[in-house]
Amino acid sequence: MKYAFERKSPWVFELPRKGPMQVPLRLYTTEGMLKQLEEDQSIDQLMNVASLPGIYRYALGMPDMHQGFGFPIGAVAAFDIDSGIISPGGVGFDINCGVRLLRTGLSRQAIEDRLDELGKRLFALVPSGVGSTGHRVFSKAEMKGLLSEGAPWIISAGFGVPSDQSAMESQGHLAAADAELVSEKAIERGRDELGTLGAGNHFLEVDYIETIYDAEYAAAFGLREHDIVVWIHTGSRGLGHQVATDFINLFKKKMDQYKIPLYNHELAALPFKTSEGRQYFAAMSAAANYAWVNRQIITHQVRTAFEQVYPDLMAGQSIDLIYDVAHNIAKEEVHDGKKLLVHRKGGTRAFPAGHPELEGPFAQYGQPVLLPGDMKRGSYILVGTGASMDETFGSTAHGAGRRLSRNEAVRRYQFEDISADMAQHHIRLFAADKKVAREEAPDAYKNVDEVVGPIVHAGIARPVARSRPLLVIKG
DNA sequence: ATGTTC
């Protein structure tokens, strides 16, 4: 073992602070997955995060952790609001990359005969792939509106129903957003990309509920065995990427001035309470609003596809949003009675019942935690717990997490083999780009069952249900 | 992740 981790429990491993580290690292994982982490730079990256000013308690790694830009993916770090930093690399390039889950109320058996047609309609109505553009271009004035207001803006424009908004983290908008701090270049990149999936790990999936782990919570979230659900995973596209690029460049220039140590050239950070820190937070919030609008337009397109393909079944039937989570974001939250800036980079909020930020049924049950796996082995729906508030700043993992780099996956897997293997499992794959599909080969990811293990055993989320794919649309 | 090397 290259690092001197102490085993706090079978699922929690701690690396004591040393050198410039202000706090220890704490990893929620297994012995086996911890060993794999030594093959990339993610532990060193998390040690750098633990060395940043104002970090509170520990730097957290989730079981899906792997190497990212400056800051690992599958990591959570909270900083004192007054003395701590904010880091664009701690949010990620795809600001408010996130996941939403829809329930259709239709059974697997009912939709099976027209699945191919559904796949084709979804593939046509939801543009995917690098550089994909949407069905309409938004004006600059419209961009300012949606960047400021988020999901409510696009729902008012007719894409969705008011009840959608109450099933979104932060109700689909961050009030700190300031559209004036999003560069012209970022706005220009974003005007024609709304309603598009993008590439990489982004996807649209039609799944069926395979297993219910908790009948009461499944019923509360409207999940029934064999029912069809739709997963949407995408973010803020080129706009968010441009905001991240703009502010990483600005931050790098200013670090010396604010005397923030640069442990790695990718890990730019500035005090939150500086004009630059606040500016990034306001621009990040606007990009987060854009991502919620993006997922909302895609939701509208999914509803349209189901209505077109199944007009008979959809008569009197609505497709409802179960929940929408952000997994690349920084938010002001209160933990241990302290105001903190929580960075979740590939981390899902997992607030429990009774949390003051939750409303409606979620106040009673806790928020749904949406944890997608790879495109063959399916995904989990969990629920937030009190232990996540006590231990992980109300957070858990965000997905299976990569096991292999994109390049390594392309070297190992051929498109035809992936497609044939998925067909064997009765999964139809619609891929905009064969190379991207090879990067996303199921075996390039950790086994989602193995990733969920430490979460469930440590109690930082509770399992509610598991779904398996039938149709996969990939960028 | 990304108008996939501004």
Distance A318 CA to B5 C1' (A): 46
Q: Which nucleotide is nearest to A197 (CA to C1')?
A: B1
Rounded CA separation A10/A418 (Å) = 34
A132 and A200 in contact (C-beta within 8 Å)?
no
Q: Which nucleotide is nearest to A436 (CA to C1')?
A: B4
Footprint of strand B on the protein (CB under 7 A): A 69, 93-94, 97, 129-131, 185, 188-189, 193, 198-202, 234-235, 237-238, 241-242, 245, 433, 475
Share of chain A above pLDDT 90, in %: 98
Residues contributing to the annotated binding site of A for Mn(2+): 94, 202, 233, 327
Report the SS3 class of residue A405.
coil
Q: Which nucleotide is nearest to A242 (CA to C1')?
A: B2
Q: Which nucleotide is nearest to A132 (CA to C1')?
A: B3
Both tokens of A107, joined, read 């059974």
Q: How many other β-carbons are positioned within 10 Å of the β-carbon of residue A473?
A: 23
Over range A127-142, report the average pLDDT.
95
Q: How confident is the model at residue A205 (pLDDT cuts 50, 70, 90)?
A: very high
Report the SS3 class of residue A221.
coil
For residue A263, give the nearest of A44, A38, A10 by alpha carbon: A44
Could you give the count of Cα atoms lying within 13 Å of A320 in the half-sphere of its Cβ?
Answer: 12
Distance A473 CA to B2 C1' (A): 19
Rounded CA separation A373/A159 (Å) = 28
Indicate the pTM of the whole model: 0.98
Q: pLDDT digit string (tens) for A106-132?
A: 999 999 999 999 999 999 999 999 999
Report the SS3 class of residue A241.
helix
Q: Is the dihedral of CA A395, A45, A451, A387 positive or negative?
A: negative
Residue nearest to nucleotide B4 (CA to C1'): A130
Residues contributing to the annotated binding site of A for GMP: 201-205, 327-328, 372-375, 379, 398-401, 474
Residue nearest to nucleotide B3 (CA to C1'): A131
- pLDDT above 70: residue A420: yes
Residues contributing to the annotated binding site of A: 94, 201-205, 233, 327-328, 372-375, 379, 398-401, 474
Catalytic residue among A173, A355, A398, A426: A398
Instruction: Provide the b/e sequence for A260-278 (b: ≥16 CB within 10 Å).
Output: beebeebbbbbbbbbebbb
Can you give the C-alpha Rg of chain A in angstroms? 21
Q: pLDDT digit string (tens) for A55-84?
A: 999 999 999 999 999 999 999 999 999 999
- The CATH number of domain A6-474 is 3.30.720.210: no
Q: What is the pLDDT of residue A156?
A: 98
Q: Which parts of A67-116 are beta strand (E)?
A: 73-80, 85-86, 98-107
A397 and A348 in contact (C-beta within 8 Å)?
yes
Share of chain A above pLDDT 70, in %: 100
- pLDDT above 70: residue A1: no
On chain B, which bases lie within 7 A of the protein's CB atoms?
A: 1-4, 6
Q: What is the pLDDT of residue A2?
A: 83
Distance A445 CA to B4 C1' (A): 20
Q: Which nucleotide is nearest to A189 (CA to C1')?
A: B3
Distance A219 CA to B1 C1' (A): 35
Both tokens of A173, joined, read 């908008």
- What are the backbone angles phi and psi of residue A223, rounded to the nearest 5°? -105, 130
Distance A413 CA to B3 C1' (A): 27
Distance A94 CA to B1 C1' (A): 5
**Domains in chain A: boundaries:** 6-474
Q: Is A398 a catalytic residue?
A: yes
Q: What is the pLDDT of residue A336?
A: 96
